[in-house]
Structure 1
Amino acid sequence: MIVTDTADKIKSMEIRGAGRIARAAAEALRDHALSIQPPYTAAFQQEMERAAAILVATRPTAVSLPNAVHMVMNGIGKATTVDEARTGVVQRAEHFIQSSQHAVEKIAEFGARHIRNGDKILTHCNSEVALGCIIEAHRSGKEIEVFATEVRPRNQGLITIRTLNDAGIKTNFIVDSAVRSFINEIDLVVVGADAVTVNGAVVNKIGTSQVAHTAKEARVNMIVAAETYKFAPKTVIGDLITIEERPSSEVLPDDIAKTLPHVRVRNPAFDVTPAEFIDLIITEQGAIPPQMAYVIIREYLGWDIAEFH
Structure 2
Amino acid sequence: MSLNKNELVDDLVAKLKRRQLVGSSAVSQATLKLLVVVISKNNWSTANQLLTLVKSVGQKLIQANPTELAVGNIIRRVLHVIREEYREAENDKTNTEFHHHAAPLTTSSSMYNLLGESGAAQEEQVQFSHSLRSNIIQEIRDIKIELENIHENIKNQAPLHIHSNEIIMTIGRSKTVEEFLKMAASKRKFQVLVAETAPSYHGQEMALELSKAGIETTVIPDSAVFAVMSRVNKVILGTHAVLANGGLVAISGSHMMAAAAKHHSIPVVVCTGLYKLSPLYPYDEDSFNVTMNPDSVLGFEEGDLIEKVTVTNPYYDYVSPDFVNLFITNQGGHPPSYLYRLIVENYDPDDQTFDL
**Above 0.5 in TM-score?**
yes
Q: Where does residue 244 of structure 1 map in the other structure?
A: 289
Q: Where does residue 105 of structure 1 map in the other structure?
A: 152
CA gap of 1:243–1:165, structure 2 versus 1, over 3 A, is: same
What is the CA distance between 1:160 and its match in structure 2?
Answer: 1.8
| Counterpart residue identity of residue 180, structure 1 | F
Q: Where does residue 210 of structure 1 map in the other structure?
A: 256
Q: Where does residue 70 of structure 1 map in the other structure?
A: 76
1:60-91 Cα offsets, whole Å, 9 max, x none, are 34432210133345539988699889867754
What is the CA distance between 1:156 and its match in structure 2?
Answer: 2.4
1:108-140 Cα offsets, whole Å, 9 max, x none, are 12243110011221111222222222111112x
Q: Where does residue 27 of structure 1 map in the other structure?
A: 33
Answer whether contact 2:292 2:315 (CA < 8 A) is retained.
Answer: no
Q: Where does residue 182 of structure 1 map in the other structure?
A: 228
CA–CA distance in 2 between the matches of 1:4 and 1:184? Answer: 51
Q: Where does residue 179 of structure 2 map in the other structure?
A: 132
CA gap of 1:305–1:72, structure 2 versus 1, over 3 A, is: closer
CA–CA distance in 2 between the matches of 1:48 and 1:298? Answer: 20
For residue 121 of structure 1, give the secondary structure of its aligned residue in structure 2. Answer: strand
CA gap of 1:108–1:59, structure 2 versus 1, over 3 A, is: farther
Given candidates 152, 156, 173, the residue that maps to 2:219 is 173
For residue 288 of structure 2, give the secondary structure of its aligned residue in structure 1. Answer: coil
Answer whether contact 1:61 1:194 (CA < 8 A) is retained.
Answer: no
Given candidates 33, 56, 61, the residue that maps to 1:55 is 61
CA RMSD of aligned residues (A): 3.5
- Between 288-297 and 3-12, report the one with greater CA deviation: 3-12
Map 1:1-309 → 2, pairs under 5 A: 2-3=8-9, 6=12, 15-30=21-36, 40-41=43-44, 51-72=57-78, 75=82, 91-139=138-186, 141-235=187-281, 239-240=283-284, 242-249=287-294, 251-252=296-297, 255-256=300-301, 259=304, 260-299=306-345, 301=346, 303-308=347-352
What is the CA distance between 1:190 and its match in structure 2?
Answer: 0.5
CA gap of 1:192–1:59, structure 2 versus 1, over 3 A, is: farther
| Counterpart residue identity of residue 270, structure 1 | Y
What is the TM-score with the length of structure 2 in the denominator? 0.70
Answer whether contact 1:244 1:268 (CA < 8 A) is retained.
Answer: yes
For residue 148 of structure 2, give the secondary structure of its aligned residue in structure 1. Answer: helix
CA–CA distance in 2 between the matches of 1:177 and 1:8? Answer: 38
CA–CA distance in 2 between the matches of 1:178 and 1:2? Answer: 47
Q: Where does residue 91 of structure 2 map in the other structure?
A: none
CA–CA distance in 1 between the matches of 2:132 and 2:169? Answer: 46
CA gap of 1:252–1:221, structure 2 versus 1, over 3 A, is: closer
What is the CA distance between 1:263 and its match in structure 2?
Answer: 2.0
Give the % identical residues.
Answer: 23
CA–CA distance in 1 between the matches of 2:18 and 2:74? Answer: 19
1:32-73 Cα offsets, whole Å, 9 max, x none, are 777xx66x5499988865553343234434432210133345
CA gap of 1:31–1:117, structure 2 versus 1, over 3 A, is: farther
CA–CA distance in 2 between the matches of 1:250 and 1:28? Answer: 36
CA–CA distance in 2 between the matches of 1:33 and 1:308? Answer: 21
- Between 145-154 and 13-22, report the one with greater CA deviation: 13-22
| Counterpart residue identity of residue 53, structure 1 | Q
For residue 209 of structure 1, give the secondary structure of its aligned residue in structure 2. Answer: helix
Answer whether contact 2:294 2:312 (CA < 8 A) is retained.
Answer: no
1:163-219 Cα offsets, whole Å, 9 max, x none, are 323322222122222212322332111011222233322221111110011112222
What is the TM-score with the length of structure 1 in the denominator? 0.80
CA gap of 1:307–1:13, structure 2 versus 1, over 3 A, is: closer
Q: Unaligned stretches of 5+ in structure 1?
A: none
CA gap of 1:60–1:151, structure 2 versus 1, over 3 A, is: farther
